[in-house]
């Protein structure tokens, strides 16, 4: 009998950073019937004391919200592609702290993009991948000791930021999967796949569609980033009526693929996090638009994901 995949909806916290408080977001999501939050990183997150995260978790719980995931927002854990021991040391320290943050807020998984080779030094890419994979093998054990379920990687839309192609997606996940199977004291490394990420080459020709990238990641899929994009993955935005008219991402098609391929997806409950930047930050005329932007996108995606839960703060 085919597996029944349960789809859930959440929000990544990026658009409230330096704009609204987290309790404001938790109350808003409770009113919209959205239970899950992915905590996006910010500059202070690696230095804040444990007590701050314990309070944040309690604030979310008071609204019926669960911080189920933590994920980077600024590519700040990608230092293995710079040929710099100094960068690598900082990445290891900060990645460990982010795992600790995930445990403190009660998240199942913590993740980031793998990193990016400088465009003028693409010769560093293969070395960067090797260094990153070795680093992740160590983090898999650290995450297990901290009680997490998984670590995650996001496939990207540029050859300098692996994994990008289906072959890279399979190769990187495959190596880490083998390590996980051989070491019982590690967590798996899976994908947080963005449904708006595909690959267009330097001439703007689409080589791999966003649906092809998603399908390649399915055997290792842990969670999703939900956003819209244009025909060459250049700009990203949400799911308002106007956004849907100009975007290429069809959420019902994504849901259909997930349901058809449910048997190869390693989780029974899959959370998709709406990931939008929101309006221009730091303007009185634009900051006030965030609530409307979130509401319009969430209402549309919630219906497509068939989410029925309702929470009140």
Phi, psi of 230 (to 5 degrees): -95, -175
Model pLDDT for residues 164-185, shown as the tens digit of each residue: 999 999 999 999 999 999 999 9
Residue 311 forms part of a structural domain: no
**Integer CA distances (angstroms), 238 to 220, 249, 250, in order:** 25, 10, 12
| CATH number, residue 299 | 3.20.20.150
Residue 242 forms part of a structural domain: yes
Q: What is the pLDDT of residue 137?
A: 97
Question: What global pTM score does this model have?
Answer: 0.96
Residue 251 forms part of a structural domain: yes
What's the total number of domains in the chain? 1
Kind plus residue range of the DSSP H or E element containing 236: strand 236-237
Model pLDDT for residues 14-67, shown as the tens digit of each residue: 999 999 999 999 999 999 999 999 999 999 999 999 999 999 999 999 999 999
Dihedral of the alpha carbons of 180, 132, 236, 157, in degrees to the nearest 10: -100
Sign of CA dihedral 213, 218, 219, 220: positive
Q: How far apart are CA 179 and CA 185, in angstroms?
A: 10
In contact, 112 and 72? CB cutoff 8 Å: yes
Residue 313 forms part of a structural domain: no
Residue 89 forms part of a structural domain: yes
Q: What is the pLDDT of residue 308?
A: 58
Residue 99 forms part of a structural domain: yes
Residue 23 forms part of a structural domain: yes
Model pLDDT for residues 282-303, shown as the tens digit of each residue: 999 999 999 999 999 999 999 9
Residue 52 forms part of a structural domain: yes
Which residue range forms the structural domain that includes residue 100?
6-305
Kind plus residue range of the DSSP H or E element containing 131: helix 125-145
């Amino acid at each position: 009998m085919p597996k029944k995949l349960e789809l859930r909806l959440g929000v990544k916290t990026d658009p409230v950073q330096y704009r609204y408080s987290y309790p404001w977001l938790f109350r808003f999501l409770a009113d919209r019937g959205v239970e899950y939050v992915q905590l996006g990183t910010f500059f202070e997150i690696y230095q804040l004391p444990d007590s701050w995260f314990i309070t944040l978790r309690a604030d979310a719980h008071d609204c019926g919200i669960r911080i189920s995931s933590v994920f980077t927002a600024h590519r700040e854990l990608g230092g293995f592609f710079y040929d710099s021991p100094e960068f690598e040391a900082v990445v290891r320290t900060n990645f460990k702290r982010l795992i600790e943050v995930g445990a403190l807020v009660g998240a199942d998984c913590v993740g980031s993009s793998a990193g990016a080779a400088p465009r003028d030094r693409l010769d560093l890419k293969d070395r960067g991948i090797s260094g990153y994979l070795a680093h992740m093998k160590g983090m898999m054990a650290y995450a297990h000791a901290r009680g997490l379920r998984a670590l995650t990687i996001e496939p990207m839309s540029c050859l300098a930021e692996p994994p990008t192609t289906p072959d890279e997606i399979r190769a990187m996940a495959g190596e880490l999967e083998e390590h996980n199977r051989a070491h019982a004291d590690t967590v798996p490394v899976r994908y947080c796949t963005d449904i708006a990420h595909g690959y267009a080459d330097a001439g703007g020709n689409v080589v791999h569609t966003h649906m092809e990238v998603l399908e390649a990641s399915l055997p290792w899929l842990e969670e999703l980033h939900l956003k819209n994009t244009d025909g060459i993955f250049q700009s990203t935005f949400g799911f308002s009526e106007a956004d849907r008219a100009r975007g290429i991402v069809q959420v019902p098609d994504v849901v259909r693929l997930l349901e058809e391929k449910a048997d190869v997806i390693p989780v029974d409950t899959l959370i998709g996090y709406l990931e939008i930047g929101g309006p221009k930050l730091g303007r009185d005329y634009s900051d006030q638009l965030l609530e409307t932007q979130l509401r319009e996108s969430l209402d549309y995606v919630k219906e497509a994901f068939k989410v029925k839960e309702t929470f009140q703060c």
